[in-house]
Amino acid sequence: MTTPEPADRILARASLAEGNPTGWFEQLYTAAARGEAEVPWTRGEPNADLAARVRPGEGRRALVVGCALGDDAELLSAHGWAVTGFDVAPTAVEAARARFPESEVDYVVADLLNPPGEWAHAFDLVVEIINIQAMPREFRPAAVQSLASFLAPGGTAIVSEVAEENVDMTHWQGPPWPFSRTDVESVAQHGVRLVSLETIRDGARYWATFTR
Ligand SMILES: C[S@@+](CC[C@H](N)C(=O)[O-])C[C@H]1O[C@@H](n2cnc3c(N)ncnc32)[C@H](O)[C@@H]1O
């Protein structure tokens, strides 16, 4: 007997076959809301790597890319950041607002591949954790360019993705599409420079920081 394929993989395959890199996220969140699927990355708590490294925001602006159900955005808000969290899936954004009705986070539906122009150079902290790797590689340069554009002078961008160097890529089928070190370093563009790049979780993920 074979194990049934999880809903996220079935939806992703169909969406990608239609040339749509992100449509399956909304489909997955709505299926989960109906109790018909699980969203594998939702934990009900903030990312532990981010929680271990978060610094006081003192009112500065933070942007959480692919904020999903809001846990990382709320973590930063609790540490004094003025947070905008965005996700391409409207159902995720609605769920985040519903989970945290008293929240000071500005939850927004937006696409990293076509972000609002007013976000350019606007954020003192930009957090990108395992979102860009969830889109096929051909979308990576545009996504990375958007990500770099958000960072304000003197700010910090955090980028954490699955590390390709520790994955057997022979028969690998995304999502996700892991990052190489060169992929991570490509965030250093248009005035953004790499500050640190390490592996975490026993080499499974990269954790990189950038500034402008
Ligand atoms: C793999 S999940 C990771 C969620 C969260 N960052 C975490 O660490 O658990 C990817 C998230 O990014 C969102 N997403 C994917 N592509 C996006 C895009 N182009 N723009 C904005 N959000 C996107 C998805 O809807 C989903 O919530």
Ligand 1 within 6 A of CB of 111:
yes
Contact call for residues 150 and 123 (beta carbons, < 8 A)? yes
Give distance in angstroms: CA of 80 to centre of ligand 1. 23
pLDDT at 1: 59
**Pocket residue to mutate for ligand 1, from 43, 65, 87, 127, most atoms within 8 A of Cβ:** 87
Question: Could you give the C-alpha distances from 151 to 21, 61, 66, 211, in angstroms and in order?
Answer: 24, 10, 16, 7
Contact call for residues 36 and 59 (beta carbons, < 8 A)? no
Can you spell out the DSSP letters for 79-101? TT-EEEEEES-HHHHHHHHHH-T
Amino acid identity at 108: V
Contact call for residues 155 and 126 (beta carbons, < 8 A)? yes
Q: Is the pLDDT of residue 92 over 70?
A: yes
In this predicted model, what pLDDT tens digit does every residue of 153-204 receive, in sequence order? 999 999 999 999 988 888 888 899 999 999 999 999 999 999 999 999 999 9
**pLDDT grade, residue 103 (50/70/90)?**
very high
**Pocket residue to mutate for ligand 1, from 25, 109, 119, 133, most atoms within 8 A of Cβ:** 25
In this predicted model, what pLDDT tens digit does every residue of 2-61 receive, in sequence order? 677 889 999 999 999 999 999 999 999 999 999 999 999 998 999 999 999 999 999 999
Q: What residue ranges define each of the domains in the chain, with the CATH number in brackets? A: 43-211 (3.40.50.150)
In this predicted model, what pLDDT tens digit does every residue of 55-83 receive, in sequence order? 999 999 999 999 999 999 999 999 999 99
Q: Is the dihedral of CA 95, 98, 103, 108 positive or negative?
A: positive
- Rounded CA gap, 189 and 170, in Å? 30
Report, as an integer, the average pLDDT of 113-140. Answer: 97
Give distance in angstroms: CA of 68 to centre of ligand 1. 6
